[in-house]
C-alpha cells in the first residue's frame, strides 16, 4: 500500500507527474481509481498493487521470498525463586498519611437508635397536630356560636335603645301631664294661712 507521494519517489518523478498519470489512467478506464485511508494516518490515501499498476502502467513486481532464520538467543540470568510464605503486610503503609477515617464501632445500632428516636418524634408531632386540629375545630364551632349570638345581641341592642328612648320620652310626657294636673288641682284650693294669720 503506497501513497501517491510514495509512488512518485519510487519512480523518481514529481508528484504532479503521478497525478497526471492517474488522471490519464482514469480517463482511459472511464472510472476513478479509488484508494483507501491510511490505517494510522487518516489524512493520507493509499493505493493497493492493482491501483498502482493502473496509475503507473507498470505491473508490480512480486517480492521474491527470502528464507531467514531468527534465533532468540539467551541473554538471561536465572534468579532464585523468592520466598513468599509467612509474609506480613500492613495496609496502613498503602494509605495516605494526611487522611484518617472516622468510624463508629456499631453503626447499625446507632442507625436503629436514630430511627427509634425519629419515630417517637414523628409520633409526638402527629399527636400534637391532631390535638391542635381538634382545638381549632372546637374554637371555630364556639366562634360560630358566638358570632350568631353577637349578631343577635347587636340587633337587640339597637332595638332596646330605640324602645327605651320611646318609653322614656313617653314616661316624661306622662309625668309632665300628671304634674300639670296636680298643679291645676292645687290652684283651685284656698290659700293656706300661716299661724300669724297671713295667707301663704
Query: What one-character-per-residue DSSP string does the chain give?
Result: -B-HHHHHHHHTS-HHHHHHHHHHHHHHHTS----EE-SS-TT-EEB-HHHHHHHHSSPPPPPPP--------------PPPP-TT----GGGGS-TT------TTHHHHHHHHHHHHHHHHHHHHHHHHHHHHHHHHHHHHHHHHHHHHHHHHHHHHHHHHHHHHHHHHHHHHHHHHHHHHHHHHHHSPPPBPTTS-B-
**Pairing mode, if any, of strands 36-37 and 45-46?**
antiparallel
The percentage of the chain sitting over the pLDDT mark of 90, rounded to a whole number, equals 37
CA distance 112 to 135: 35
pLDDT for the residue numbered 123: 95
31 belongs to a structural domain: yes
In a domain? residue 179? no
Of 27, 33, 40, 28, the C-alpha closest to 4 is 33
Band of pLDDT at residue 61, cut at 50, 70 and 90: low
In a domain, 107, yes or no: no
Beta bridge partners of 185: none
Does residue 43 sit within a domain?
yes
Kindly state whether residue 163 falls inside one of the protein's structural domains.
no
Domain count, the chain: 1
Read off the pLDDT of residues 7-49 as tens digits, 9 standing for 90 and up: 888 888 888 888 888 888 888 888 888 888 888 888 888 888 8
pLDDT of 180 > 70? The answer is yes
Q: How far apart are the C-alpha atoms of 32 and 194, rounded to whole Å? A: 166
Domain presence at residue 135: no
Domain span including residue 25: 4-56
Within a domain: residue 98?
no
| pTM summary value | 0.36
In-domain check, residue 49: yes
Amino acid at each position: 500500500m503506497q501513497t501517491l507521494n510514495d509512488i512518485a519517489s519510487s519512480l523518481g518523478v514529481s508528484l504532479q507527474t503521478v497525478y497526471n498519470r492517474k488522471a490519464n489512467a482514469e480517463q482511459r478506464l472511464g472510472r476513478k481509481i479509488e484508494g483507501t485511508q491510511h490505517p494510522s494516518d487518516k489524512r493520507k490515501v493509499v493505493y493497493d498493487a492493482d491501483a498502482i499498476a493502473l496509475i503507473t502502467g507498470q505491473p508490480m513486481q512480486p517480492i521474491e521470498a527470502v528464507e531467514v532464520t531468527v534465533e532468540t538467543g539467551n541473554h538471561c540470568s536465572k534468579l532464585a525463586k523468592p520466598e513468599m510464605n509467612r509474609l506480613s503486610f500492613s495496609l496502613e503503609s498503602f494509605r495516605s498519611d494526611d487522611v484518617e477515617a472516622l468510624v463508629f464501632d456499631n453503626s447499625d445500632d446507632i442507625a436503629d437508635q436514630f430511627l427509634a428516636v425519629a419515630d417517637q418524634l414523628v409520633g409526638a408531632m402527629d399527636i400534637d397536630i391532631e390535638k391542635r386540629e381538634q382545638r381549632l375545630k372546637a374554637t371555630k364551632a364556639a366562634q360560630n356560636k358566638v358570632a350568631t349570638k353577637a349578631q343577635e345581641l347587636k340587633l337587640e341592642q339597637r332595638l332596646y335603645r330605640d324602645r327605651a328612648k320611646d318609653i322614656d320620652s313617653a314616661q316624661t310626657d306622662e309625668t309632665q301631664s300628671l304634674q300639670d294636673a296636680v298643679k291645676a288641682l292645687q290652684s283651685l284650693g284656698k290659700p293656706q294661712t300661716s299661724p300669724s294669720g297671713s295667707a301663704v
